[in-house]
Structure 1
Amino acid sequence: MCWRTSARRFFRENVPVVPDYADGFVEQNPEVWYEAVVRIAREWFRSGIKPQHIALLSFSGQMQDCIPVDSGGKPVRPAILYSDGRGARQAERLRQELGDETIIRYTENHMDGTLTFPKLIWLLEHERERYDETRAFLISSKDYVIARLTGAFVTDPTSAATTGCMNIRTRTWMGEWLERYGLDPAKMPAIIGSGEPAGTVHAEAAASSGFAAGTPVLCGIGDAGSATLGAGVYREGEIYAYIGTTGWVAAASDGFMDVRSGAFNLAYVEPGRQIAIAPLTNAGSAHKWAAEVFGSGKPWSASVAFKEFEQAVEKAERGTSGVLFLPYLNGERCPVQDLNATGCFIGLTEATTREQMGTAVLEGVAMAVRQVLELIAKPEPERGLRVTLIGGGAKSKAWCRIIADVLQCELVVPEDSQFLPSIGAAMLGFSRLGWGGDYASLCEKVKAGRKFERFVPNPELAAFYNRQYEKFKRLYPALAPVFAMA
């Protein structure tokens, strides 16, 4: 059995986050993550699933957190989440003292205040008592659940790659860096393989959760890793896009990409393989905003609003409106790296309709996807480019058609694609139990047995979207001085 414990999805809907945006703080009580898992488990057992029938537990969860726990695995303070930027000054100090070239040489990533390493320094400097109480700093939400179930303090290489202090080639902590800034390397969790056992459910956890004592618990994998596995992307050249509240474009690779664009290199499920990933801050969030603003105007109901918005976009005649939308409703991370950037419409006239503006929002996100795709993809001209699209945004057929037309490539949308990250987490268990061979074989089998829908670009819209895209790329550079005045 597995959960995808992503804050972007399950915990966003079920577990309260306590943000203080004035200070850039975003925190969450990690104990509610474990309580949510317990509630799910009890529901399973009430429905007839027997604890003794569970062969092992596998997890995924959001990465880049700072979760201080005591020797009993209980939190000493709220978790500092991935979107929390309080470590900005500490990150700048790291850049100045270690040097960008050195940081990239070892981590193959850039340094910023959202990473775990600068958050650890912030905690040491601002909450020394809490730091001293801490036995281990966990990185992913699933690390906390695993600690509560087994008593083990572990993390996986994919999650560890988001800390800013893991040597991505050796998959070990940069102990010298930690010590240089007064941090105790012994407080860092052990980095073990995603498919390796972290431990077994102990008696106390068995009593609270209902899982059988002794049930093996795998280390699991960070959410970007589970999504990549679930998409069936394992071999060089395979690529997918994820459209959730936020989004990303990613590919499997045996090398490293240039991270100066704002992209990341993450350790993949096996040594020697990486995930090249370029994030988007605005994806499904822009879709939801557009459905609210350009919908029918009736009282808000998510299911009705999205359905009506979908119908409105379907009716819009694409290829005739010159309206462009810059989708930076929450700033942007890649390739634009500007938290002050905002959303903008360009090209409005008296003839512009509500449907055209709503369509422009979806086109704007698609153009942002095209920008980051160009960082990741290395298409072979004779073969063209094929992109697998997963996540909740893939449920909109109108949006899928727009994305295919803007990217000018074949789009493959697996059935129930929003659940594929859960399949990715479960694949760790399949491999451990010997069900289906190695990860490359499992990815091929998952893809072969999957129903999917294909979207091919409309050649009549190619010239239009090429022109729109060239204009789109000029918008941010032209408006950046205005954003800087905010």
Structure 2
Amino acid sequence: MFVGIDVGTSMVKAAAFDAGGRELAVQARPVGLDLRAGAVEQDMEEVYAAVVGVLEAVTARVPEPVELAGLTGQGDGVWLVDAAGRPVRPALSWMDGRAHDLVDQWLADGTFETVFRRTGSAMFPGCPGPLLAWLDRHEPKALDAAAAAVYCKDMVFQRLTGGARAVTDVSDASMPFLDPRTRRYDNGVVELLGLSHRRGLLAPVADPVATAEACGAGLPSGTRLANGPYDLPACALGAGVTAPGDGLLIVGTCLAALVATTEPDLGGEPAGLYISTDRPGHWLRAMPAMVGTAALDWVLKTTGVRHPEVDALLAATPPGAHGVRVLPYFAPSGERAPFVEPRLRAELSGVCLESTPADLIRATCEGIGYAARHCLAAAGLTGSLAVCGGGTRSPAWMRLLADVLGRPLRVVEGEVGARGAVLAAAERYGLALDAAAWTEPTLVVEPDAARAAYYTKGYEEHLERLAGARQRARR
């Protein structure tokens, strides 16, 4: 039995697989977010307790010995821990928007672009650079008390392995301090952000084959455990996206587009990031938009519609949603891909007294699709496209998405991030698994030619509306 652990933003999951990649059991536990006035924080003890709980539950359901465990989780944010991996303060989530003034300042004075040209990372308010700089200005005592500023899965890994020294992997370290070409922290970037005196808080980047051998609560003692990659590259592995040009779209809380590449290009508009992988010379060009299914969740809550009703409502109104349009930029910290606009907000247009909840829901799904098309184009998609995430549970939305994107979708269902975490762990330990069998798509959704042509025109109109919204956001 192989176990993958995925420490998500709102849900922690553990999944058990057999040697052929068949999903045997899944256990999940929700974790809370503390949202207030632009601040988004998480209780580390609650997160860690959820990890232990799902591990205990999944190993109890499938009593075979655990051969290997892989760990993944949400990226970015700042998780301040002491030498034993215990929290110094609540974690600052990747969704936190308190550092937007710093990002605005860096956008204006050229620091933002300089960092991108050096590391391929387009900073946003919830990534470690701005958050550490904000803490240094507003909560310096928290940084003084910390032994390390790590990422979510690093905190869990340190605790599961008995409080050994904090480490991270190249994928999590990619934003914003890692030079993707040298795979080392760029101290010049640390200095640019005014954090040289906090350099010691950056966790060492572990060798890709570094692992833990003795685990604590939740797994039998002695279980082999690997830390990383974080959830975006883990999903790429779990969906079989490794060949240059092939892409993955994660339709989850965050709408993330990733394309595999062997040629990092630090030119062009500064946006997204290059995620380093365990294989030197291979990267993922990532365009992780701030809001995916969260936008639809907000619309459903506002209209009083339940998730099981979405498919029927998508069929109840035609493409174009009777003229209703949605720019789906609902995040309080604005947008980070395929452009950075910290003050951008969602916009609804074309609504009148005759508009229905079905119109609003379809327009939201279409808007998310247009945003995905924008991200995939910016990331350089030229090959096949896999899709995973909670949005894949809606067949009607997948058909709509194939039409909006104008290309077939390889839909990969199940716990894709946990699956990728196991595949990464197996590679680090030199254990041969049949990756093709593990990443076989559930189905392929083909686009309708006529609707795809309609949505190509709709995409051009979306880009025009977006340009106007970006101008308004800067006023």
Looking at structure 1, the residues matched to 453 and 277 of structure 2 have their Cα atoms a distance apart, in angstroms, of 38
**Match status 1:342 vs 2:349:** no
CA offsets per residue over residues 313-365 of structure 1, 9 Å max, x none?
12333368333222223343323533443333333456544433322221111
For residue 337 of structure 2, give the secondary structure of its aligned residue in structure 1: coil
Q: Is the 8 A contact 1:276 1:376 kept in 2?
A: yes
**Match status 1:156 vs 2:169:** yes
Of the candidates 453, 457, 467, which is equivalent to residue 467 of structure 1?
457
**Distance change (3 Å), C-alpha of 1:375 and 1:43:** same
Looking at structure 2, the residues matched to 377 and 343 of structure 1 have their Cα atoms a distance apart, in angstroms, of 25
Deviation at 1:239, TM superposition (A): 0.9
Deviation at 1:433, TM superposition (A): 4.3
**Distance change (3 Å), C-alpha of 1:293 and 1:171:** same
Deviation at 1:268, TM superposition (A): 1.8
**Distance change (3 Å), C-alpha of 1:184 and 1:479:** closer
In structure 1, the residue matched to 2:432 is 436
In structure 2, the residue matched to 1:115 is 127
**Match status 1:165 vs 2:177:** yes
Of the candidates 226, 234, 239, which is equivalent to residue 242 of structure 2?
234
CA offsets per residue over residues 67-87 of structure 1, 9 Å max, x none?
222222211111122222333
Instruction: Give the number of the structure with larger relative contact order, counting CA–CA contacts within 8 Å between residues 6 or more apart.
Output: 2
CA offsets per residue over residues 169-226 of structure 1, 9 Å max, x none?
22222345546634243332120244431x3336xx3xxx153333332122111111
CA RMSD of aligned residues (A): 2.8
In structure 2, the residue matched to 1:125 is 137
**Distance change (3 Å), C-alpha of 1:37 and 1:350:** closer
Looking at structure 2, the residues matched to 141 and 400 of structure 1 have their Cα atoms a distance apart, in angstroms, of 30
Name the amino acid aligned to 1:263.
G
Deviation at 1:6, TM superposition (A): 1.6
**Distance change (3 Å), C-alpha of 1:308 and 1:221:** same
Of the candidates 250, 261, 264, which is equivalent to residue 273 of structure 2?
264
In structure 1, the residue matched to 2:287 is 278
**Distance change (3 Å), C-alpha of 1:350 and 1:25:** closer
Gaps of 5+ in 1: 297-304, 380-384
Q: Counterparts in 2 of 1:238-317, with a 5 A limit?
A: 238-257=246-265, 258=267, 260-294=269-303, 305-317=306-318
**Distance change (3 Å), C-alpha of 1:214 and 1:107:** same
For residue 474 of structure 1, give the secondary structure of its aligned residue in structure 2: helix
Deviation at 1:462, TM superposition (A): 3.4
**Match status 1:186 vs 2:197:** no
**Distance change (3 Å), C-alpha of 1:295 and 1:315:** farther
Q: Counterparts in 2 of 1:60-75, with a 5 A limit?
A: 60-75=72-87
Q: Is the 8 A contact 1:324 1:468 kept in 2?
A: no
In structure 2, the residue matched to 1:143 is 154
In structure 2, the residue matched to 1:386 is 384
Looking at structure 2, the residues matched to 471 and 120 of structure 1 have their Cα atoms a distance apart, in angstroms, of 38
For residue 321 of structure 1, give the secondary structure of its aligned residue in structure 2: helix
Looking at structure 2, the residues matched to 104 and 479 of structure 1 have their Cα atoms a distance apart, in angstroms, of 24
Of the candidates 30, 33, 41, which is equivalent to residue 55 of structure 2?
41
In structure 2, the residue matched to 1:10 is 12
For residue 260 of structure 1, give the secondary structure of its aligned residue in structure 2: coil
Looking at structure 2, the residues matched to 109 and 48 of structure 1 have their Cα atoms a distance apart, in angstroms, of 41
State which drifts further: 227-236 or 93-102: 93-102
Looking at structure 1, the residues matched to 451 and 424 of structure 2 have their Cα atoms a distance apart, in angstroms, of 42
Q: Normalised by the size of structure 2, how large is the TM-score?
A: 0.86
Q: Is the 8 A contact 1:168 1:267 kept in 2?
A: yes
**Distance change (3 Å), C-alpha of 1:345 and 1:86:** closer
Looking at structure 2, the residues matched to 357 and 464 of structure 1 have their Cα atoms a distance apart, in angstroms, of 19
In structure 1, the residue matched to 2:423 is 427
Q: Is the 8 A contact 1:28 1:81 kept in 2?
A: yes
Looking at structure 1, the residues matched to 70 and 427 of structure 2 have their Cα atoms a distance apart, in angstroms, of 11
**Distance change (3 Å), C-alpha of 1:248 and 1:48:** closer
State which drifts further: 267-276 or 126-135: 126-135
Name the amino acid aligned to 1:217.
L
Deviation at 1:157, TM superposition (A): 0.5
State which drifts further: 209-218 or 419-428: 209-218
Looking at structure 2, the residues matched to 101 and 360 of structure 1 have their Cα atoms a distance apart, in angstroms, of 34
Looking at structure 2, the residues matched to 456 and 105 of structure 1 have their Cα atoms a distance apart, in angstroms, of 38
Gaps of 5+ in 2: 14-27
Q: Is the 8 A contact 2:103 2:123 kept in 1?
A: yes
For residue 329 of structure 1, give the secondary structure of its aligned residue in structure 2: coil
**Match status 1:219 vs 2:227:** yes
Deviation at 1:399, TM superposition (A): 0.8
For residue 454 of structure 1, give the secondary structure of its aligned residue in structure 2: strand
**Distance change (3 Å), C-alpha of 1:108 and 1:94:** same
**Match status 1:196 vs 2:210:** yes
**Match status 1:20 vs 2:33:** no
Of the candidates 425, 438, 445, which is equivalent to residue 446 of structure 1?
438
Q: Normalised by the size of structure 1, how large is the TM-score?
A: 0.84
**Distance change (3 Å), C-alpha of 1:121 and 1:318:** closer
Deviation at 1:269, TM superposition (A): 2.5
Looking at structure 1, the residues matched to 424 and 91 of structure 2 have their Cα atoms a distance apart, in angstroms, of 26
Larger Rg: 1
Looking at structure 2, the residues matched to 348 and 101 of structure 1 have their Cα atoms a distance apart, in angstroms, of 38
**Distance change (3 Å), C-alpha of 1:321 and 1:119:** closer
State which drifts further: 72-81 or 331-340: 331-340
**Distance change (3 Å), C-alpha of 1:446 and 1:85:** same
Q: Is the 8 A contact 1:110 1:260 kept in 2?
A: no
**Match status 1:87 vs 2:113:** no
For residue 226 of structure 1, give the secondary structure of its aligned residue in structure 2: helix
**Match status 1:402 vs 2:416:** no
Name the amino acid aligned to 1:388.
A
Looking at structure 2, the residues matched to 128 and 320 of structure 1 have their Cα atoms a distance apart, in angstroms, of 50
Q: Is the 8 A contact 1:234 1:443 kept in 2?
A: no
Counting aligned pairs with the same residue, the percent is 25
Q: Is the 8 A contact 1:262 1:337 kept in 2?
A: yes
**Distance change (3 Å), C-alpha of 1:195 and 1:221:** farther
Deviation at 1:49, TM superposition (A): 2.6
Aligned residues: 452
In structure 2, the residue matched to 1:413 is 411
For residue 369 of structure 2, give the secondary structure of its aligned residue in structure 1: helix
Looking at structure 1, the residues matched to 314 and 189 of structure 2 have their Cα atoms a distance apart, in angstroms, of 52
Looking at structure 2, the residues matched to 390 and 147 of structure 1 have their Cα atoms a distance apart, in angstroms, of 29
For residue 221 of structure 1, give the secondary structure of its aligned residue in structure 2: coil
In structure 2, the residue matched to 1:302 is none
For residue 389 of structure 1, give the secondary structure of its aligned residue in structure 2: strand
Q: Is the 8 A contact 1:106 1:169 kept in 2?
A: no
Looking at structure 1, the residues matched to 189 and 443 of structure 2 have their Cα atoms a distance apart, in angstroms, of 48
Looking at structure 2, the residues matched to 101 and 261 of structure 1 have their Cα atoms a distance apart, in angstroms, of 6
Q: Is the 8 A contact 2:10 2:33 kept in 1?
A: no
